[in-house]
Structure formats: C-alpha cells, structure tokens
C-alpha cells in the first residue's frame, strides 16, 4: 500500500514548483482520506488553483507523470472561481468528503444549506434510478451494479446528514446511524466492496425500489 504521507510530501513539493504562489487549496478524498485504503485504492487528490487555464492542465499532467504510483493518481482540479460557482448539491459531498491538506474549503459552507442537501439526495436518487433501469435493460453488467451501489452509499451519507445533522465518512459507521432500506443499501455496498458476489436481479430490484422511494420523498 502507498505510504500516503511520503506521497503527499513529494506531491506538494512538485506542486509548489509547478504553480508557485498560485495554490488555493489541496485536499485528499476517497479511501485514503477515510483511512480505509487498500492496495488497489486510488490516490484522489484535490487541487484548486487561484485561476486555472488549459495550459495549467497540461503542466499539471506533466507533473503527475513524474510522480510514483502514477497509475493510481486521480482526483479533482479546478480554479477557485469555478468552484465557488459550482452546483451546491455537488459541493455538499465535495466539502464533507475532502480532507484538507493545505488551505480550507470553509468558504463553501454558506452554500451548503438544507436545499443543497435535499438536491444532493434527489439528484443522486434520480441518477441511480436511471442507471439501474439502463443496466437492467441494456448493459446487464455486474460491474455496473457495484458502481451503482458505491454511488448509492454517497446518497445515504446525505440522507444521514439530513436526518441527524452529522456527516459520516466511514460506511461501517454510517450503517449504525441509518435503518431500514437505507441500511440495506449500505450493507450491500460493503458486501460488494469486500469482493462479495453480485446477485444481479435481487440487488437491482432493491436499488430500483430504494431510488424510486427517495425520488418521491424529496419531491414532496
């Protein structure tokens, strides 16, 4: 597994050399941020520059190519002004799932109101509903089922926040704070994440019905 502290030290050094005095924020997302990383985990790095140009993207890509574990590096890159004008429902997950390494995302907090949380749930449920139907009728892919349940687990995080006011990063802790169908979604995701088999029909039906319910609930 990657030594995340050593990786970030080298990453920040290269980033400072590539974009001197232009870095607004650096953060970490995903399993390394949650302390749940495995050998296969991506290195999800967030980089926000004061201003981002196409040429900056080319320079950033070239910088990444000089780093170890290049095949694992992914993440989010943006200019500050673009981020500040981003869709608020996306920013809800982005803010809570990002571990700050340098700088702060607190400037986003005024945008993360109850409307944004509700939209995060509704848009997530709508996307899952569509994805589930498409997969049932066309792709019929077990890998797609795994991906859909991963996305659904993020929606449950937003549901939990709406119900409790607390954002829970770790799925193993999240399942203890939700119940009923929401807990079953988390349990299925954890089963699949651990390498469990896909029961295509049953899992698809469960996800379809769950997404349908939350579309109706958030539309009330």
Asked if 92 and 161 sit in the same domain, the reply is: no
Q: Cβ of 54: how many Cβ atoms within 10 Å?
A: 7
List the domain range (segments joined by +) for residue 64: 4-106
Residue 171 makes CB contacts below 8 A (sequence gap 6+) with: 153, 186, 189, 190, 193
Give pLDDT tens digits for 169-185.
Answer: 999 899 999 999 999 99
For the chain, the C-alpha Rg in angstroms (whole number) is 19
Asked if 203 and 125 sit in the same domain, the reply is: yes
- Residues forming a β-bridge with 73: 43
Q: What is the pLDDT of residue 219?
A: 87
Mean pLDDT of all residues in the chain?
Answer: 97
Sign (positive or negative) of CA dihedral 129, 92, 175, 194: positive
Q: What is the pLDDT of residue 220?
A: 66
Q: Which helix (H) or strand (E) holds 101?
A: strand 99-102
Asked if 99 and 133 sit in the same domain, the reply is: no
| b/e sequence 175-201, b meaning 16+ C-beta within 10 Å | bebbeeebebbbebbbebbeeeebeee
| Single residue among 67, 90, 106 that ends a domain in this structure | 106
Asked if 95 and 147 sit in the same domain, the reply is: no
Give pLDDT tens digits for 95-130.
Answer: 999 999 999 999 999 999 999 999 999 999 999 999
* Residue the block writes with tokens 């088999």: 197
Structural domain total, the chain = 2
Among 68, 49, 67, CA closest to 57: 49
* Residue the block writes with tokens 């029909």: 201
Asked if 8 and 98 sit in the same domain, the reply is: yes
Q: What is the pLDDT of residue 73?
A: 98
pLDDT above 70: residue 57 = yes
Give pLDDT tens digits for 72-97.
Answer: 999 999 999 999 999 999 999 999 99
Asked if 139 and 213 sit in the same domain, the reply is: yes
Asked if 146 and 123 sit in the same domain, the reply is: yes
| b/e sequence 114-138, b meaning 16+ C-beta within 10 Å | eebbbbbbbbbbeebbebbeebbee
Cα–Cα distance, 198 to 110 (Å, whole number): 40
Asked if 8 and 95 sit in the same domain, the reply is: yes
Asked if 60 and 148 sit in the same domain, the reply is: no
CA angle, 125 as apex, 142 and 25 as ends, to 5°? 95
High-pLDDT (> 70) share of the chain, %? 100
């Amino acid at each position: 597994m990657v030594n995340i502290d050593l990786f970030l030290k080298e990453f920040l050094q290269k980033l400072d050399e590539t974009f001197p005095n232009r870095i607004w924020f650096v953060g970490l997302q995903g399993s390394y941020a949650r302390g749940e990383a495995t050998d296969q985990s991506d290195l999800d790095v967030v980089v926000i520059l004061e201003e981002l140009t196409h040429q900056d993207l080319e320079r950033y890509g070239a910088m990444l190519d000089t780093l170890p574990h290049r095949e694992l590096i992914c993440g989010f890159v943006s200019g500050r002004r673009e981020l500040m004008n981003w869709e608020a429902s996306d920013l809800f997950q982005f803010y809570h799932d990002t571990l700050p390494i340098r700088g702060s995302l607190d400037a986003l907090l005024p945008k993360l109101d109850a409307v944004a949380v509700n939209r995060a749930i509704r848009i997530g449920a709508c996307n899952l509903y569509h994805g589930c139907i498409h997969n049932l009728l066309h792709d019929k892919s077990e890998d797609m089922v795994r991906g859909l349940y991963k996305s659904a687990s993020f929606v449950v995080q937003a549901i939990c926040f709406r119900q409790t006011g607390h954002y829970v990063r770790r799925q193993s802790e999240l399942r203890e704070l939700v119940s009923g169908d929401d807990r079953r979604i988390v349990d299925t995701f954890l089963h699949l994440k651990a390498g469990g088999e896909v029961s295509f029909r049953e899992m698809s039906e469960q996800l379809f019905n769950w997404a349908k319910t939350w579309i109706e609930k958030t539309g009330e």
